[in-house]
Amino acid sequence: MTVNGKKASATVESRTLLVQLLREHLGLTGTHVGCDTSQCGACVVHVNGESVKSCTYLAVQAAGKEVLTIEGLATGDELHPMQAAFREHHGLQCGFCTPGMVLSAVDLLKNNKKPTEHEIREWLEGNLCRCTGYHNIVKAIQAASETMAG
């Protein structure tokens, strides 16, 4: 498989989850395990360009595919516009849900370049944040959609 643009390989059991492969085998601990029941979205990564919950995805199912985690989003020292917008608009407090929020939001903008506030809130159905009340997260995503649309 490819992880964040680099070839990666590991020998895992059939029951190993993608999130375990990323965190425990590849040391990419930016992907979090929150609820472990596919509800909270802290574990969201992209597989072949689409957001998925890596706690409900077998590592073997990702064989040969392209995985993107939060560690692979920035270009060198330059934050991805979505990361920059989360920082600018204070779209986080404790930060636990943030990697999943950011990757989910990036997937939203792939499908809908100028989402309305309602569409953003609907999209975030699968990402839980217990600190912010979502308000600044929504603001950050709206701002990023402006930046990214140029």
Partner 1 sequence: MYEFAYNRPTSLEEAVKALAADADAKPLAGGMTLLPTIKQRLAKPSALFDLSGIASLAYIKRAGDGLEIGAMTRHVDVARSADVQQVIPALAQLAGGIGDPQVRNRGTMGGSVANSDPAADYPAGVLGLGATIVTNKREIKADDFFTGLFSTALAEGELITAIRFPKPEKAHYKKFPNPASRYAIVGVFVAKFASGARVAVTGAGPYVFRVPEMEKALTASFTPAAVKDIKVSDKDLNKDLHASPEYRAHLVTVMARRAVEAMV
Q: Which residues bind partner 1 (CB under 8 A)?
A: 13-15, 36-39, 41, 44, 50-53, 56-58, 60-61, 104, 107-108, 123, 125-127
Whole-number minimum distance, CB 120 to partner 1, in Å?
11
Whole-number minimum distance, CB 99 to partner 1, in Å?
13
C-beta of 87 vs 125, nearer to partner 1: 125
* SS3 sequence of the chain: CEECCEECCCCCCCCCEHHHHHHHHCCCCCCCCCCCCCCCCCCEEEECCEEEEHHHCEHHHHCCCEEECHHHCCECCECCHHHHHHHHCCCCCCCCCHHHHHHHHHHHHHHCCCCCHHHHHHHHHHCCCCCCCCHHHHHHHHHHHHHHHC
Whole-number minimum distance, CB 78 to partner 1, in Å?
27
C-beta of 122 vs 146, nearer to partner 1: 122
